[in-house]
Amino acid sequence: MSSDLVSVFLLSLLAMFNPTLLAAVTVMLLLPSPKRLMLGYLLGAYTTSITLGLVIVHSLHGSSFESTSRSTIGPAEDITVGLILLLVAYVLGSGRAEPVRERRQRRKEEKSKGAETKEPWVQRMLGRGSARVTFALGLVLTFPGVSYLAALDHIANLDPGVVPTVLLVVYFCVFQQLLLELPLLGYVFAPEKTQERVTRFRAWIDANGRRAAIIGAAVLGILLIGRGVVTLL
């Protein structure tokens, strides 16, 4: 299997853990008509990511960026992202993040004692409960990130032809929205069971979220560093 194809898959896993998307999904699940809101957001996200992805992949063909990235940018990004993930795992595991967390908690408590805390802009927009609003937010909040741009470069390196290129771009765009697609499908086919699972998942995250974040960051970091080193050798 091509190393570029493996890179596209691994980067899609990395892109799936999007804090903005997770926050948006959480808010939408708490609002009336979550299926309609999530569908609007998903359509907006698909519109931006698929359109820009196809344009960017096409622009990469034959460019100097494509030829140099094949031997330098891919491995360098793997090692850099891997080191960052290991640092995140270390900070979470050592408890060095506790002072920051405590300061944030104190600030929240101080604000609650004074004036009413103002909700973030994204949360206020989602709170309007309009599918048109969530569609617009999906358009705005789904511009390509580092992982997506790196995956597009690997797809350009593969140069598999028009149809396979389109399919790979669509695959990546679909996979990176998995946090949104799974609850949406659940609410469509099994709404009661989905609500129960969402409640249990929130409870599990409250109890084990830190441990899961440490293990996930460490494993992904080691895999990315190992792949980057092997590619450079």
The per-residue pLDDT for range 25-79, each reduced to its tens digit, is 877 877 777 888 899 999 999 999 999 888 888 887 655 444 444 444 457 767 8
Q: What's the sign of the alpha-carbon dihedral 59, 64, 67, 68?
A: negative
Has this prediction a pTM greater than 0.85?
A: no
Contact in structure between 7 and 166 (CB atoms under 8 Å): no
Contact in structure between 129 and 32 (CB atoms under 8 Å): yes
Q: Which of 39-43, 55-59, 137-141, 211-215 has the highest mean pLDDT?
A: 39-43
Tokens for 128, please give them.
Answer: 């309007």
pLDDT score of 195 more than 90: no
pLDDT digits (tens, 9 = 90+) for 78-105: 787 778 878 877 877 776 555 555 555 5
Which H/E stretch holds residue 178? helix 178-189
pLDDT at 69: 45
Domain count, the chain: 1
Distance CA 69, CA 75 (A): 9
User: What is the SS3 assignment for 115?
Assistant: coil
pLDDT digits (tens, 9 = 90+) for 4-29: 788 888 888 878 877 678 778 877 87
Contact in structure between 104 and 8 (CB atoms under 8 Å): no
Distance CA 109, CA 107 (A): 5
Q: Where does residue 118 rank: exposed (0-12), middle (13-18), buried (19+ CB within 10 A)?
A: exposed
| pLDDT level of residue 120 (50, 70, 90 thresholds) | low
Q: What's the Cα-to-Cα distance from 214 to each of 5, 85, 91, 226, rounded to whole Å?
A: 27, 9, 9, 18
User: The tokens 């249990």 sit on which residue?
Assistant: 200
Instruction: Identify the residue with better confidence: 168 or 14.
Output: 168
Outline where DSSP puts E strands in the chain.
none
pLDDT at 102: 57
Task: Compute the CA torsion angle 225, 227, 232, 233 (nearest 10 deg).
Answer: 110
User: The tokens 């979220």 sit on which residue?
Assistant: 209
pLDDT at 96: 55
| pLDDT level of residue 174 (50, 70, 90 thresholds) | very high
Instruction: Identify the residue with better confidence: 127 or 47.
Output: 47
Centroid of chain to Cα 153: 18
What is the span of the domain harbouring residue 81? 3-232
